[in-house]
């Protein structure tokens, strides 16, 4: 007896689940932006696609990370502004304050090492060299504890190797 092919997901449940989980990131950032700031030892490592639509920041900084960039929100961040579709924050890079704006759709990982909480998202569809969109999907979990934020209070760019499965 022939088996029927699986039904096509016209509801796009996976995309709905991704959007709902990105809401967790938005809510966490809203709590961090409150006057009392991050509670206890909580801090965030946020990885995002630098070439995703809507990402903005200094070209010299984004140019150093043509694929993904990880920022740390811990002790020294300013003007954190979580909006409905993106967040903005000022961090120090090389001793200079620089403002970044990141759509939640560009976020690929959100990690709070204080409680070992990790969310990983499908990367947004990105145009390839020929201009056609493609989706890059990375799966896995954090396998190592990220190193602490630098003592001098500057933003730290974290190598993604510590998050990859070996």
- For residue 6, the model assigns a pLDDT of 82
What mean pLDDT do residues 129-139 have? 39
Question: Domain ranges in the chain?
Answer: 41-125+144-160
Q: Which residue has the tokens 């959007």?
A: 19
| C-beta separation of 98 from 76 below 8 A | no
Q: Average of pLDDT values for 59-72? A: 95
pLDDT at 57: 96
- Select from 131, 127, 77, 134 the least CA-distant residue to 102: 77
DSSP bridge partners of 45? 72, 111
- pLDDT-derived band at 20 (thresholds 50, 70, 90) equals very high
Split at pLDDT 50, 70, 90, the class of 5 is confident
Domain 41-125+144-160, CATH number (from 2.30.30.220, 2.40.37.10, 2.120.10.30, 3.40.50.720): 2.30.30.220
pTM of the model: 0.73
């Amino acid at each position: 007896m022939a088996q029927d092919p699986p039904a096509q997901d016209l509801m796009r449940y996976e995309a709905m689940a991704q959007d709902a989980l990105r809401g967790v990131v938005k809510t966490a950032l809203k709590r961090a932006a409150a006057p009392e700031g991050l509670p206890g030892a909580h801090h965030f490592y946020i990885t995002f696609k630098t070439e995703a639509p809507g990402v903005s920041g200094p070209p010299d900084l984004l140019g150093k990370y043509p694929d993904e960039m990880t920022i740390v929100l811990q002790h020294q961040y300013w003007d954190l502004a979580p909006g409905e579709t993106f967040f903005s924050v000022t961090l120090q890079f090389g001793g200079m304050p620089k403002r970044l704006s990141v759509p939640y759709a560009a976020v690929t990982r959100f990690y709070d090492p204080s409680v070992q909480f990790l969310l990983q998202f499908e990367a947004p569809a990105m145009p390839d060299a020929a201009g056609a969109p493609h989706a890059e999907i990375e799966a896995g979990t954090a396998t190592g504890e990220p190193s602490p934020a630098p003592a001098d209070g500057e933003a730290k760019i974290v190598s993604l190797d510590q998050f990859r499965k070996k």
